[in-house]
């Protein structure tokens, strides 16, 4: 399967703990995105990479969130000192570089539950 993969699929943690999620994009895709989605809402943009460069980060994103894409391939999203409000589905997507196009390929997501 050459689609976007995410690991883990589910994560349960206690408030105050740190968590890290991994995303493996489609191999030839330069662009990688992270989103957060809560029940009944559409995905909320968190951050965007082109190759290894983090080009955009949502102003809504707390300093507790950090993302990396060290070699322009896989990416990690870390949440420090988790809070119950961080409970959500975290989605990763990738896309090739195509100006003016909006097609993104999404992974299955990581569902985070903070107790």
Partner 1 sequence: LAKTTQPISMDSYEGQEVNITCSHNNIATNDYITWYQQFPSQGPRFIIQGYKTKVTNEVASLFIPADRKSSTLSLPRVSLSDTAVYYCLVGGSNYQLIWGAGTKLIIKP
Applying CB under 8 A, the residues found at the interface with partner 1 are: 4, 31, 33, 35, 40-45, 48, 55-56, 89, 91, 93, 95, 97-109, 111
Q: Based on CB atoms, which residue is closest to partner 1, 40 or 70? A: 40
Cβ contacts of 81 within 8 Å, gap of 6 or more: 16, 17, 18, 64
* Distance from C-alpha of 54 to C-alpha of 35, rounded to nearest angstrom: 14
Q: Based on CB atoms, which residue is closest to partner 1, 21 or 33? A: 33
Q: Based on CB atoms, which residue is closest to partner 1, 93 or 114? A: 93
Give the shortest CB-51-to-partner 1 separation in angstroms: 13
Q: Based on CB atoms, which residue is closest to partner 1, 74 or 80? A: 74
By CB neighbour count within 10 A (0-12 exposed, 13-18 middle, 19+ buried), where does 55 fall? Answer: exposed
In contact, 69 and 1? CB cutoff 8 Å: no
Residue 100 Ramachandran class (φ > 0 left, ψ -120 to 50 alpha, else beta): left
Give the shortest CB-4-to-partner 1 separation in angstroms: 8
Give the shortest CB-91-to-partner 1 separation in angstroms: 5
Give the shortest CB-8-to-partner 1 separation in angstroms: 14
* Distance from C-alpha of 59 to C-alpha of 71, rounded to nearest angstrom: 25
């Amino acid at each position: 399967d050459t689609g976007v993969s995410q690991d883990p699929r589910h994560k349960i943690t206690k408030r105050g703990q740190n968590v890290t999620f991994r995303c493996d994009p489609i191999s030839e895709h330069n662009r990688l995105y992270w989103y957060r989605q809560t029940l009944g809402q559409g995905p909320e943009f968190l951050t965007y990479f082109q190759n290894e460069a983090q080009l955009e980060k949502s102003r809504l994103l707390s300093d507790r969130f950090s993302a990396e894409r060290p070699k322009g391939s896989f990416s990690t999203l870390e949440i420090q000192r988790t809070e119950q409000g961080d409970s959500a589905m975290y989605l990763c997507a990738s896309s090739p570089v195509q100006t003016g196009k909006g097609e993104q390929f999404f992974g299955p997501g990581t569902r985070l539950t903070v107790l």
